[in-house]
Amino acid sequence: GESVGLHLPTLSVQEGDNSIINCAYSNSASDYFIWYKQESGKGPQFIIDIRSNMDKRQGQRVTVLLNKTVKHLSLQIAATQPGDSAVYFCAETEGGGADGLTFGKGTHLIIQP
Amino acid sequence: GAVVSQHPSRVICKSGTSVKIECRSLDFQATTMFWYRQFPKQSLMLMATSNEGSKATYEQGVEKDKFLINHASLTLSTLTVTSAHPEDSSFYICSASLGEPYYGYTFGSGTRLTVV
């Protein structure tokens, strides 16, 4: 995965708009990817996951896209709400279950009223 | 759904003392537990992986004598920060998995450690 950054990128969107958060990963052997939401002072909360044999997966208001060719992952949040304000991390792993996760830098999503 | 309980949520300790953090899987047996560390405005970094009944595997650069991990049962793992120093102040988060591929990972709520 990506190296840890010294600061978090910020994405500011208007309430009701769609948000797209991007993530690049470096390990071509990774086969399981997860998006997490983290609110201040709390642990990561699972949003959606995708296996490497898929390129798109949809959940409630969220969609994850995986492009293995360029090692890129994105999270789309539809009709953002104030409660979506948080830091979003992508995470990857090779083995699934037995191996820990490598987290991306994170993106701070701010919802403007 | 799977729940992981982490305790304490906050702890302040004096430099040179040791602190123990507990991580429990409440409604499932966690074959594997993981410990992460997170500095302010940064990402989570994996510190170690522990399997019940065996020694933990530490990531490169993590001192195993400083961060003692015990995984005595399928529902409990502990992280002890020994001889804590101010630079050990951080947010520590545990995670648990069933050890099966693609089943996901459940995270605890984290422990804010402040060493003064």
DSSP state of A8: -
Is B40 at the interface with chain A, CB within 8 A? Answer: no
CB contact under 8 A, B109 and A43: yes
Q: In angstroms, what separates the C-alpha of B116 from chain A's closest C-alpha?
A: 19
Look at residue A52 in the predicted model and tell me its pLDDT. 93
Is B25 at the interface with chain A, CB within 8 A? Answer: no
CB contact under 8 A, B45 and A103: yes
pLDDT digits (tens, 9 = 90+) for B47-103: 999 988 889 999 999 999 999 999 988 899 999 999 999 999 999 999 998 767 777
SS3 B14: coil
Residues A16 and A79: their CA atoms lie apart, in Å, by 4
Question: Which pair of structure tokens corresponds to residue B49?
Answer: 């992986």
* pLDDT-derived band at A66, boundaries 50, 70, 90: very high
Q: Which residues of B touch A29 (CB under 8 A)?
A: none
pLDDT digits (tens, 9 = 90+) for B1-37: 789 999 999 999 999 999 999 999 998 888 899 999 9
pLDDT at A96 exceeding the cut of 70: no
What's the whole-number average pLDDT of chain A? 91
Q: Which residues contact B92 (CB under 8 A, 6 or more apart)?
A: B21, B35, B36, B37, B38, B79, B81, B110, B111, B113
Q: Taking a C-beta distance cutoff of 8 angstroms, is the pair B95, B33 a contact? A: yes
Q: Which residues of A touch B105 (CB under 8 A)?
A: 34, 46, 101
Residues A107 and B91: their CA atoms lie apart, in Å, by 18
Answer positive or negative: Cα dihedral of A42, B74, B22, A90: negative
